[in-house]
Amino acid sequence: MTPKKQATVVMEQNILNSDNEQLVELINSLVNTKQDELFTKYKAKAESQLESDHELIESLQAELKAKDDKIEALLEELSSLKQDSSMEFASPIRKKASGRLSQDELAKERQNICFTLDMIELLTGVKVINFENNSEEYIFDIKQSSSVRSGLTMYYQLVLASSPNPEINYIPTFLDALEGEEVEDYENAKILQKLLPDYLCENLSFPFDTLAQFYGKVNRALNRK
């Protein structure tokens, strides 16, 4: 059996014979018991654990908020898709409004519009092959074909300003082929140079309300026998 440790007995003589440093050490030995040391260690460990738990909780809260935000964004997107699943659509090729169309019906109507544009090309020889716009202007890339000369095609741009009562700027882009490497396009451009009036081989501007007259002049020049 382990013998009990005897308590330290402090005699008056010990105090009288001790210097200041020894007195401090003696007092500490009497005040700081083993229980005090254990409590201090436990307190430090508990504070460290609390700080660690606090950081973990903050991290989990941030992660939870991020997931909540993502869920909310997905719900908004889903709601938007549901609203767009049927929409009011005014078809440019029908006299009556098409009403609400499903996505499949809208896709079908787009095919019908493309078919109509192809029909217009067959009737007039004119096709818009590209369209771009910005805050200042609308740019149409046009392809116009001859109905009497097989393969003869004229490419040009019509640039329309977005201001009221705009003028149209005509740019004969078919002339670019004269500097290109495509033999067929080059020969096509040379034929057009000989066939077209001089004013159609250079940039020009004309009022918007005379566009039909411009088309008529180009059409007559391309189909001249």
pLDDT per residue over 78-87, tens digit each?
776 665 555 5
Residue 7 in this model has a pLDDT that exceeds 50? no
The pLDDT-based confidence of 26 (bands split at 50, 70, 90) is low
The answer to whether the CB of 221 falls within 8 A of the CB of 196 is yes
Q: What is the pLDDT of residue 101?
A: 62
Distance of CA 25 to the CA centre of its chain: 74
CA proximity to 160, closest of 103, 119, 207: 207
200 torsion bin: left (phi>0), alpha (psi -120 to 50), beta (else): alpha
Choice among 10-19, 131-140, 164-173, 181-190 with the minimum mean pLDDT: 10-19
Choice among 23-27, 158-162, 197-201 with the minimum mean pLDDT: 23-27
Residue 2 in this model has a pLDDT that exceeds 60? no
Pairing mode, strands 153-161 and 137-145: antiparallel
Q: Which phi and psi angles does 194 have, rounded to 5°?
A: -75, -35
Q: What is the pLDDT of residue 191?
A: 93
144 DSSP 8-state letter? E
The pLDDT-based confidence of 95 (bands split at 50, 70, 90) is low
End-to-end CA distance of the chain: 131
Between 106 and 221, the more confident residue is 221
Between 1 and 164, the more confident residue is 164
CA proximity to 154, closest of 78, 77, 219: 219
Q: What is the pLDDT of residue 15?
A: 56
171's tokens: 């740019």
Distance of CA 149 to the CA centre of its chain: 46
Residue 190 in this model has a pLDDT that exceeds 90? yes
Topology of domain 125-223 in CATH is Aspartate Aminotransferase, domain 1 (3.90.1150)
Mean pLDDT of 98-117: 72
Distance CA 223, CA 127 (A): 16
Between 97 and 59, the more confident residue is 59
Model confidence pTM above 0.85? no
| Cα dihedral across residues 76, 80, 85, 86: positive or negative | positive
The pLDDT-based confidence of 204 (bands split at 50, 70, 90) is very high
Which residue type does 225 have? K
Cβ-based neighbour number of residue 191 at 10 Å = 16
Residue 43 in this model has a pLDDT that exceeds 80? no
Q: What is the pLDDT of residue 29?
A: 62
Helices marked H in the chain? 12-16, 20-31, 34-84, 103-124, 183-195, 211-222
Distance CA 158, CA 140 (A): 5
Cβ-based neighbour number of residue 172 at 10 Å = 20
